[in-house]
Structure 1
Amino acid sequence: MRIRTDDEIYRVDAVWLGPPKATFPWRARYVAWGVGIPVFLIVLSVERQIGIGFDFFSTAWALVITIALTRIITSKISHERPLGAVFTMWWRELHAPRERRTPTGGAASASKIRVNRERPRPRAKRRRGARRGAAPPPTPYPPDSPGRARRRPAAVGR
């Protein structure tokens, strides 16, 4: 069952039946004419690229293919989904990121690891304040300070 829209504007089917007193035997929307003519030109150019000559039968088959493609395309088009939206949806679907079904990788290999001939040497550690002209760092307890005398010697042998 098909429910028609309540809006009177969209109830009118924008159809061109042909010239007055010489109407076509079929009904085609304006959108179908606008889509069909470029599709026909594309189909003809593809035929020429393939190497099919320009004669009656190749043009007839181009017309049949054009009608089929136009019907497929215009079946997706409505007043709620215009041609630009359908094309954009198709383009984004075509270029959307996909899940990879085949695993990447394989057997482990050391071919990508860089190896140096010489073993790296450790760098000389710099002490704080060991710069030129700086005073040596102070010791925590000078030898004659009372803080040093308060420190207990470690118990040995207990």
Structure 2
Amino acid sequence: MRVVPDDEVYRVNTVWLGPRGLTFPWTARYLAYATWLATFLVVLLVEAITPLDVGVPPVWEIAVTTLFTYALMGFVDHERPVRAVWQTFLADLTAPRPQARRLSTRTTPNVRVVERRPPRAPSEVTPSEESLEVM
């Protein structure tokens, strides 16, 4: 069951629909426009610092910025402002993780393979090996 807030004011989005008769085909909050602009400038700054090419018009930059803004605004509402979403993201990112479970097993071979070596000829034996053979 979904609980609807009693106060209707909180469910109103501050949206500019455009001039009468010439409205946008989408509805976006003022915050979304500000987020889009800030993200677009950051993307352009990253491209200016790195050796990436900025095309005219910057189609990929606009597409990436629009997708990021759309994804971010899916989490933002009147109960969760952008700052709370950012703090939640950082808390999830830096939270302590449980240690990975290591499964350690000890194996022992059932069969031991021993290679038979042919005996060495006496001419191949070094003087240090002769002293070992005497012992």
TM > 0.5 between the two? yes
Root mean square deviation, CA, Å? 2.5
SS of the equivalent of 2:37 reads helix
- Where structure 2 has 5 or more consecutive residues not aligned to the other structure, the ranges are 103-135
In structure 2, the residue matched to 1:41 is 41
Distance 2:31 2:73 in 1: 7
Percent identity, aligned pairs only, is: 39
In structure 2, the residue matched to 1:54 is 54
TM-score normalised over the length of structure 1: 0.55
Aligned: 1:11 with 2:11: yes
The CA deviation at 1:29 is 0.5
Alignment: residue pair count: 102
Residues 73-152 of structure 1: matches in 2 within 5 Å? 73-101=72-100
Distance 2:67 2:8 in 1: 30
In structure 2, the residue matched to 1:152 is none
Which structure is richer in relative contact order (CA contacts within 8 A, separation 6 or more)?
2
Residues 24-39 of structure 1: matches in 2 within 5 Å? 24-39=24-39
Cα pair distance change 1:49/1:67, threshold 3 Å: same
Cα pair distance change 1:41/1:102, threshold 3 Å: farther
In structure 1, the residue matched to 2:67 is 68
- Where structure 1 has 5 or more consecutive residues not aligned to the other structure, the ranges are 104-158
The CA deviation at 1:72 is 0.6
TM-score normalised over the length of structure 2: 0.63
Asked if structure 2 preserves the Cα contact closer than 8 Å seen for 1:17 and 1:27, the reply is: yes
Larger radius of gyration: 1
* Structure 1 moving runs of 4+ over 6 Å: none
The CA deviation at 1:23 is 3.6
